[in-house]
């Protein structure tokens, strides 16, 4: 579910939902080691009329 969708559903400001997600991700990935990562691929996919986007992350860039 997108940040916008959550904000609308729970009657919250978009910025508040974004900040909550940001803090959650910081806690979740605080101890992830990137020592052996040489490349990261990021794809943003927009589907039809829907304003939501899908993000795909990979570490093999092939």
Q: Alpha-carbon distance 9 to 19, whole Å?
A: 17
Q: What average pLDDT does range 21-44 have in this prediction?
A: 83
Do 24 and 6 form a contact (C-beta atoms < 8 A)?
no
57 — pLDDT class (breaks 50, 70, 90): confident
Give the start-end residues of each E strand in the chain. 41-46, 53-58
pLDDT in tens, 33-54: 878 877 878 787 777 776 777 7
pTM: 0.52
Q: Which residue has the higher pLDDT, 37 or 30?
A: 30
Q: Which two tokens stand for residue 4?
A: 């916008």
Task: Round the average pLDDT of the chain to a whole number and report it.
Answer: 82
Q: Which two tokens stand for residue 2?
A: 């997108």
CA 38 to chain centre: 21
Q: Alpha-carbon distance 43 to 2, whole Å?
A: 16
């Amino acid at each position: 579910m997108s940040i916008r969708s959550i904000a609308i559903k729970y009657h919250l400001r978009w910025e508040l939902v974004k900040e909550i997600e940001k803090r959650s991700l910081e806690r979740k990935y605080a101890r992830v080691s990137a020592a052996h990562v040489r490349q990261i691929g990021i794809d943003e996919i927009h589907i039809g009329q829907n304003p939501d986007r899908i993000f795909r992350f990979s570490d093999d860039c092939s």
